[in-house]
Each structure stands twice: as structure tokens, then as C-alpha cells.
A and B are shown apart, each in its own frame.
Chain A
């Protein structure tokens, strides 16, 4: 086992990396900045789109609900006046 350990050490020593400073490829910084901006913008754009859609949906629900309430209130007034007319008719008939 010790022999294999020693073999491994010799192999590692032979394969060890003694690099000089790697040089940056031409235009690498521009590519990185463009990608970082694009991904950053995409993230906020998705959130903005979602927020806009949610706001529009909420507005539509409010408008429909308001219209429903108005219509209901209106129809209740009609019913009250119909009752009043019927009462009047009954009272006038009984009076005769």
C-alpha cells in the first residue's frame, strides 16, 4: 500500500500545474458585462411584467365588482318603487 502511495505522489508531482498568469481573451470583459446586464435586466423585466399584469387584473376585478354593486343597488330601488305603487293601488282600492 505504501508503494502505491509513493507511486501516487510521484504521479501527482509530475502532473502538478505550474502555470504562468493566464491572459484574458480579447473582448472577454465586454462579453461578461453584456451578459450580466442582460440577465439582470431580464430578471427585473419579468418582475415588472408580472406586476403590470397583476395590477391590470386587479383593476378589472374592481371595475366589474363596482358595476355589479351599482346594478344591484339600482335594481333594489326599482323594486322599492314597485312595492310603493302596489301599496298605493291596494290602499286606494280599499278606500273605495
Chain B
């Protein structure tokens, strides 16, 4: 029995009120859901709370799962939509100013502008925070796409699978989001 068949068997048992199967399903799907929640959570929402919200939705709608796609795809979509709704509740900031940056983030921006070197490994955390700040300027869907394509380094096909969008929509959204980010970055220089 492969992973997918095993997961389907667990879903069937979980639908029949088998709490052991439901727990096993949560254990199997937790890494996938946590990674999506970690990447797309709003700044003020805890990762664990978001994961909990996603799993509750999964179990409340488990009777609607048709079995036509692998359970991981179905759960991913619920996770992405839940994150998108949570992000939509958070207002986009109008602009990011140089004064909003920490000293380390300001150094990263200066280095990016003056050299063609990669960001130093010890500054990766600051770079991540800087990108998060830049992403707050974008619409929730644009944030999601930038996050999936460039931070999680997923392919267009994978993003399509997760969002249910066409390749054209993914590319256009990414293009518009990058345009906004370029403008923001230009404003910081």
C-alpha cells in the first residue's frame, strides 16, 4: 500500500469517527500544513494557531473530500485559502521608508545597491525580516505567490497545484508583485 492509499484509508476511517486514524492523519499532514502556515501567516498570528485553524477546517469538511486528488493536495488548498483569508484581514501598509529598517536591514539594502555579492549567510535572518516587511506592501494573493515562487522556491506547476490557478494567472500576479517590490526597493535606496 503506497502513501496515498494509506492516507485515503485513514481518511475513510477518520470519517467513521475513528479518532486513532484522525490523529495519525494529523501527524502525517502536520509538516505540510506547518510549512504553508509558516510561510504565509500574517505577522500577528501564531503559526500554531493558524495550523489549528487549518486542521479544524479540514476535519469539518472531510465529508466533502471526493478522493479524486491526493489528500495532501486537498489539505494544501485549504491551508493556502485559510492563510489567504488571514492575510486579507491584515491591512497592507502604504509604503516602507528607510527609517523603518533596522540597522542590519539598512546595511543589507546598501550592500545590495553597491555590490553584486550575495547577502552574507549571517545576515539571512535580517534579509528574511526585510523581505517580510516588503511583502506587507503587497496584496494577500501577491504575497502568497511571491512567497511560494521565490522564498519556498516552488515551480509554477506546484503553485498551480496549491492554488488551483492557471499558469498565466500565477505569472501575471508574480510580475505585478515584483514590479511593486522593485518600486519599494528603489524608494529605499
Contacts and interface: CB of A to CB of B under 8 A. Distances in A.
Asked if A and B are interacting partners, one says yes
Interface of A: 1, 4-17, 19, 21-22, 24-25, 28-33, 35-36, 39-40
A28 B53 CA distance: 11
Contact of A7 (B27, B113, B124, B150): B113
A10 B92 CA distance: 24
B151 A15 contact: yes
A63 B124 CA distance: 76
B21 to A, nearest CB: 11
A28 B119 contact: no
Given A15-B127, A24-B27, A32 B60 contact: no
Interface of B: 19, 22-23, 26-27, 30-31, 34-35, 38-39, 48, 51-52, 55-56, 59-60, 108, 112-113, 116, 118-119, 123-124, 127-128, 130-131, 150-153, 178, 181-182, 185-186
Contact of B26 (A11, A21, A32): A32
A68 to B, nearest CB: 46
B38 A17 contact: yes
The 6 closest A-B pairs by CB, nearest first: A14-B119, A36-B59, A14-B127, A22-B34, A12-B150, A15-B131
A22 B35 contact: yes
Q: Which applies to chain B's interface (DSSP): helix, strand, loop or mixed?
A: helix
Given A19-B35, A22-B35, A40-B60, A10 B118 contact: yes
Contacts of A24: 26-27, 30, 34
A5 B123 contact: no
Nearest to B150: A12
B182 A13 contact: no
B119 A32 contact: no
A1 B19 CA distance: 56
A25 B48 contact: yes
A69 B53 CA distance: 56
B48 A28 contact: yes
Contacts of B182: 1, 4-5, 8
27 contacts: A1-B182, A7-B113, A8-B181, A9-B150, A11-B112, A11-B131, A12-B150, A13-B118, A13-B119, A14-B119, A14-B128, A15-B151, A16-B153, A17-B39, A17-B128, A22-B30, A22-B34, A22-B38, A24-B34, A28-B30, A28-B52, A29-B23, A30-B23, A32-B52, A35-B56, A36-B55, A39-B56
